[in-house]
Amino acid sequence: MTGASDLRLFPSADGDLAYRDTGSGDLVVLLHSGFVDHRLWDDLVPGLAERYRVIAPDTRGHGFSANATAPFRWADDLAALLRHLDAGPAVLVGLSMGGVIATDTVLEHPGRVRAVVTAGAATGDFRYTDPWHREVQEETGRALAAGDVTAWLDAFLRLVPGPDRTADDLGPDILRRVREMALHTLSKHTPDEKDRLVRVSGTFDRAGEIRVPLLAVNGSLEPDELHAAAERLAAAVPDGRTATVEGTGHYSAMERPDAFTRVLLDFLETL
């Protein structure tokens, strides 16, 4: 896995934000899911960088980026990074939380975005309602509040294979990598730390404002309600479409990076 030595730092108004920057050509920005960092994309970056300039940032409070000391929005941080680099417009590719960041950014800073790919995500308005996800979310919330890292990690890692699957369905390397990233991010925070994230509201109702191509990708083994949310998002966007990575759950880009890359490259070649 890559580490701090591979990263560059953007001196934002509230601390340094880390990012990986490699390759050349049209810009593709890879946005990771919650509690992990840019290393989620390690298996995809080399292939993408043969054709594109690839930037993989660590979201504020994650990985090697600074924690927030003042209110902030994900979309504003990303737009500030792109301004700093004088780069873009970019194709934003986001997994889970990263997909929310992508849709937030295209709505709030449309001039910075050329196209959007959401993976295992819709917009920030989406919430799981099925009992299994609700149970896991409650477990992680209780463990965080109690400062119980072991209980939190056990619950969080259940999300990687997803319901009706086990770690044996993934192999040890994916869980090891996710565990390493999650523990690193968690170590940056304390249970009583104030949540300074300002969320963008009403995003699904604004999906029709997205005037760039959008691809909503899901792993075939993700919950039906997440597939439905992706379909609704794609239908709401004038140039929206969907795709599926077979045999994968929520972390499709890690489970089958070659298949995810093919889906992504096929989309990029249409732009």
- For 211-240, what is each residue's pLDDT tens digit? 999 999 999 999 999 999 999 999 999 999
pLDDT digits (tens, 9 = 90+) for 22-58: 999 999 999 999 999 999 999 999 999 999 999 999 9
Q: Which domains does the chain have, with CATH numbers?
A: 4-127+196-268 (3.40.50.1820), 131-186 (no CATH)
Mean pLDDT of 239-256: 96
Reported confidence tier of residue 127, pLDDT bands at 50, 70, 90: confident
pTM: 0.96
Q: Which residues contact 56 (CB under 8 A, 6 or more apart)?
A: 19, 20, 29, 30, 32, 38, 41, 45
Q: Which residues contact 269 (CB under 8 A, 6 or more apart)?
A: none
Token pair of 244, please? Answer: 């599926």
